[in-house]
Chain A
């Protein structure tokens, strides 16, 4: 990526900062009135899909769905940064409700990327008008991670002169968010030419929207099975008008939709920090607040704050690239999703621990958020599917560019380190170098066939790329004299330590674990990539965490 794009900030798709902030403020107001804590806890406890409240959010007094609809179809024309920011704020209130909102976006995506002008006008226009709930129906009992295995069929229906006038749909879908309430759905089904997306309206004969599943979390979200028995849809409802492009369309939007799930996880993560930070300041045990106990803060709070900041930084960077017109950011979407959802899930788990017994009690909300966040590691492609994608694509890119891909990150980090020596860039550079080397070794020994090894590499790739993003932000903030610069540099140092340690550990996991390398080869390799230098990333990290704690706890 080019830094100049970020620095210029020109020609980016989306709202001006002031308008975006106003939308964020409106969402925050929801928490005070429409979606108070009491209501959110009640929806969760009694598994209520708050249809009335959600429809109000889509009504003329709020109109949140306008954010992502292009201006041409009556919307606001928000970009990826706008959608990420607002989705994050919604998830901060309730991930279940954010899921209902996200389902509308997800359901619109096949239209956005593949719809004809007429279809966009009609269906996006309908969403813009408000009061329209949408669902995205892809998953089936036998086809979850592997979408190609779907069995729902769409058979062409011909008229007397042999023209296709529509399709007859048969099959079942499973786990469809808002499936029980949607006014229309976008459905993936197999035509003779291959999978295609269709629009099916509520009330169409033979289309049954089933009862919601009982769930672990996001209990305010409705998750329903759908069944189709000889459901006739007119040919105008075949998205794009040409059958067979469904999987392509589904893949095309993943860069974007996975970034949204990452933002949702980030929102959940922020929500637990919003609770655990003041709690630890007020809770007195053994005569002083918990926030003054270093083992407690540096185990349960500070590292999560740093990782969530890193997640936020990476999401912003990818969103900005999307807004600047870059395409093909599927791997970046996967990295964002894998990283943000996993760190948010751990943050929530530790936040429960940080509240002690109160963390286990519903009234304190943390256990609810903990249950909610888990879904982000599962839907829109599980963490393991993301690891698959990341490792496979980056391995191929590394081979194709003869190592230039991570080498360029390494040089970039060395270059930043030359002027900004206190953002941990030295360790990002060393880590990128070591990773590059490992990919080559794995390739040469044909270890890419071992999925466990690929997953270990995926994690290294993820941490290195998120870390690089953190370094770039530290640089930009420092150059522009931002009051946040010092904090982000400190967090970047702490995160660089995590990156270096993960890279060091996974490298050995791969090299020694594979059984392919003798000790001498591994020792030589450790020498070559300056393994001991990586170990020095721990230098001063406890003091850095003290400093972050000082900021968090305002002391």
Chain B
């Protein structure tokens, strides 16, 4: 089983995020970078499938040179090899553009199953995995919480309002992960030692045979980034009795907050 995991390096959720001077990107000086958490589920699931069915796990990423660090972490978890398309301009590419680059690389390597995160937590596009499946012309099952592979087919579970839906598709296919799919393993110290010796191929956009150069151009662009408005201090309602306070609360909700 040849499994490819699409992996993106994103700012850690605990990083302090500030907007850069250009108004459309974030400041990156003090950011700690990690594997996109949904992609971490993807790596774990790929490793479990490999453990059960044999095969290899390849990590594929588009990003700046620095993204080799997160690929290495996935290799330390147990993946076999990595490919980075080194693209310093990733921050300005839209989801479709990134999907086109990924699909172009995928066309040149073998795969039976592709696993991607449902979205990257930095720009919350919910788009790349599905677009890659479309570009490759293979089935896509998104937001899975469980999968089984047998007889060349994959059967996936997804939570829907009030229940679970079970979906089956032939392989090759692309699936995207949902929280609850698994608990990713640690990058163990023996794993970290081995990761140094695993192959990590760094390509540039030039190396990829795209049909037409403009195919990777973004079709959307970010025009503004805004931080959430600052939380204002709370207000304690005064009153002689619980009844009076409740009345005042209702009045404020109706007249000031206008939510009732």
Measuring CB to CB, which residues of chain A are less than 8 angstroms from any residue of chain B? 16, 18-19, 21-23, 25-26, 29-30, 33, 60-64, 66-67, 76, 284, 287, 483, 554
Contacts and interface: CB of A to CB of B under 8 A. Distances in A.
Contacts of A287: 233
Nearest to B18: A554
A63 B76 CA distance: 13
B192 A19 contact: yes
The 5 A-B residue pairs with the shortest CB-CB distance, nearest first, are: A63-B189, A66-B189, A22-B192, A26-B186, A63-B188
By CB atoms of chain B within 10 A, which of A22, A63, A66 has the most? A22
Contacts of A22: 72-73, 76, 187, 192, 195
7 contacts: A18-B69, A22-B72, A26-B186, A26-B189, A60-B188, A66-B193, A284-B233
B245 to A, nearest CB: 21
Interface string B177-190: 00000010111111
Given A18-B69, A33-B183, A287-B233, 10 more contacts: A21-B69, A22-B76, A23-B189, A26-B186, A26-B187, A30-B186, A61-B185, A61-B188, A64-B189, A554-B16
Contacts of B186: 26, 29-30, 61-62
B188 A62 contact: yes
B68 to A, nearest CB: 8
Contacts of B183: 33
Contacts of A23: 189, 192
B53 interface: no
B188 A26 contact: yes
A302 B200 CA distance: 43
B163 to A, nearest CB: 29
Interface in B1-59: 16, 29-30, 34
Contacts of B254: none
B59 to A, nearest CB: 14
By CB atoms of chain A within 10 A, which of B16, B76, B183, B189 has the most? B189
Given A18-B69, A18-B72, A483-B29, A66 B190 contact: yes
A50 B132 CA distance: 46
Interface string B53-80: 0000000000000000100110010000
Contact of A25 (B30, B187, B193, B195): B187
Contacts of A483: 29-30
Contacts of B16: 554
A487 to B, nearest CB: 11
A61 B47 CA distance: 14
Interface residues of B, number: 20
By CB atoms of chain B within 10 A, which of A25, A29, A60, A554 has the most? A25
B189 A76 contact: yes
B235 to A, nearest CB: 12
Contacts of A21: 69
By CB atoms of chain A within 10 A, which of B34, B186, B188, B190 has the most? B186
A62 B190 CA distance: 8
A324 to B, nearest CB: 22
Contact of A76 (B69, B187, B193): B193
A26 to B, nearest CB: 5
Contacts of B193: 19, 66, 76
A25 B73 contact: yes
B251 interface: no
A369 to B, nearest CB: 19
B196 interface: yes
A160 B184 CA distance: 60
Contacts of B72: 18, 22
A64 B190 CA distance: 9
A508 B30 CA distance: 44
Nearest to A86: B189
B189 A62 contact: yes
A185 B190 CA distance: 25
Contacts of B189: 23, 26, 62-64, 66-67, 76
Contacts of B73: 22, 25
A483 B30 CA distance: 9
Nearest to A59: B188
Nearest to A57: B186
Contacts of B29: 483
A523 to B, nearest CB: 50
B196 A19 contact: yes
B75 to A, nearest CB: 10
Interface string B232-252: 010000000000000000000
A417 to B, nearest CB: 28
A16 B76 CA distance: 14
A22 B69 CA distance: 9
A58 B176 CA distance: 33
A535 to B, nearest CB: 36
Interface string B184-219: 011111101101100000000000000000000000
Contacts of B69: 18, 21
Given A18-B72, A22-B76, A284-B233, A60 B187 contact: no
Contacts of B30: 483
Nearest to A34: B186
A89 to B, nearest CB: 13
Contacts of B190: 60, 63, 66
Nearest to A17: B69
A67 B186 CA distance: 15
B180 to A, nearest CB: 15
Contacts of B185: 61
Nearest to A483: B29
Contacts of B233: 284, 287
B104 to A, nearest CB: 28
A62 B192 CA distance: 10
A73 B159 CA distance: 49
Contacts of A19: 192-193, 195-196
Nearest to B30: A483
By CB atoms of chain B within 10 A, which of A18, A64, A284 has the most? A18
Nearest to A74: B190
A66 B190 CA distance: 8
Contacts of A63: 188-190
A131 to B, nearest CB: 14
Contacts of B34: 25
A74 to B, nearest CB: 9
